[in-house]
């Protein structure tokens, strides 16, 4: 039986609160890094089967930019922050203030900036989840890839071994004035980690 079908509204509210607090931490860190006010919203938090991740970002053959890393500690797993290429360029142009070329290529400076933003996001969401669960969870150094969504997830499976079959999706919107950029943040705990996380959140697994 799927544990997530048993999640009550208030339990999903806890996960949304984790996302909101993580977004608040990330917004503060990004505002400090960029020296201007950045707001972040979490419009949607939900659980989804692993195989639906590609569909949620436009399909397995959609080319995306992904920042991915391994979560270590009491509840190991994998994290992916996925942006459509246009969103990534908009983030660099509008939020970071870099002069962006018209082609699809990325300079080392652009990739470095995106990697740092992904690092801040991962650390913020993980520290928020760790505070709620009182579990020790820390991110490894992130990697960045531009490829088809299906290829990126397949590479993640090869690099990190078996992934869990469920993902926590946290939709993320970055706002700076009238500028808005949307990204998709996925936490995919290892199979044995889900029980630890939800037990720590007060959710009984069947």
Q: Is the pLDDT of residue 35 over 80?
A: yes
Average pLDDT, the chain: 83
Cα atoms in the 13 Å half-sphere on the side-chain side of 144: 18
Comparing 4-8, 117-121, 148-152, which segment has the lowest mean pLDDT?
Answer: 4-8
User: Cα separation of 133 and 155, whole Å?
Assistant: 29
CA distance 21 to 147: 30
**What's the predicted TM-score (pTM) here?**
0.85
Window from 9-13, 14-18, 49-53, 125-129 with minimum mean pLDDT: 9-13
pLDDT digits (tens, 9 = 90+) for 103-138: 667 888 888 888 888 888 888 888 988 998 899 999
| Residue 47: φ, ψ to 5° | -90, 145
Angle between helices 108-133 and 191-200 (to 10 degrees): 50
CA distances from 119 to 21, 32, 151 (A): 16, 14, 21
- Joined tokens for residue 138: 């820390």
Question: DSSP strand E in the chain: where?
Answer: 39-41, 45-49, 63-73, 77-84, 137-139, 143-148, 166-176, 179-189
Question: In the structure encoding, which two tokens stand for residue 155, read together?
Answer: 């590479």
- Say how far apart CA 22 and CA 15 lie, in whole Å: 11
- Whether residue 140 contacts residue 69, with contact meaning beta carbons closer than 8 Å, is answered with yes
Q: State residue 161's pLDDT score.
A: 65
Answer for the pair 122, 139: CB distance below 8 angstroms, yes or no: yes
Cβ-based neighbour number of residue 49 at 10 Å: 12
- CATH class of the 3-200 domain in this structure: alpha beta
194 against 168, higher pLDDT:
168
Cβ proximity of 137 and 75 under 8 Å: yes
206, pLDDT greater than 50: no
What is the pLDDT at residue 199? Answer: 84
């Amino acid at each position: 039986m799927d544990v997530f079908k048993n999640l009550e509204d208030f339990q999903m509210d806890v996960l949304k609160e984790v996302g909101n607090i993580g977004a608040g931490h990330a917004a503060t860190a990004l505002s400090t890094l960029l020296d201007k006010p950045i707001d972040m919203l979490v419009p949607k938090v939900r659980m989804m089967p692993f195989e639906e991740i590609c569909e949620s970002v436009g399909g397995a053959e959609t080319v995306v930019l992904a920042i991915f890393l391994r979560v270590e500690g009491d509840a190991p797993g994998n994290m992916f922050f996925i942006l459509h290429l246009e969103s990534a360029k908009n983030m660099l142009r509008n939020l970071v203030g870099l002069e962006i070329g018209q082609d699809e290529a990325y300079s080392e400076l652009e990739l470095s900036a995106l990697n740092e933003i992904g690092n801040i996001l991962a650390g913020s969401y993980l520290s928020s989840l760790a505070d709620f669960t009182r579990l020790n969870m820390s991110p490894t150094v992130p990697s960045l890839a531009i490829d088809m969504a299906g290829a990126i997830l397949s590479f993640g499976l090869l690099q990190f071994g078996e992934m869990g079959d469920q993902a926590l999706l946290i939709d993320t919107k970055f706002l700076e004035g009238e500028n808005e950029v949307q990204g998709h943040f996925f936490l995919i705990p290892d199979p044995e980690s889900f029980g630890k996380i939800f037990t720590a959140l007060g959710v009984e697994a069947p």
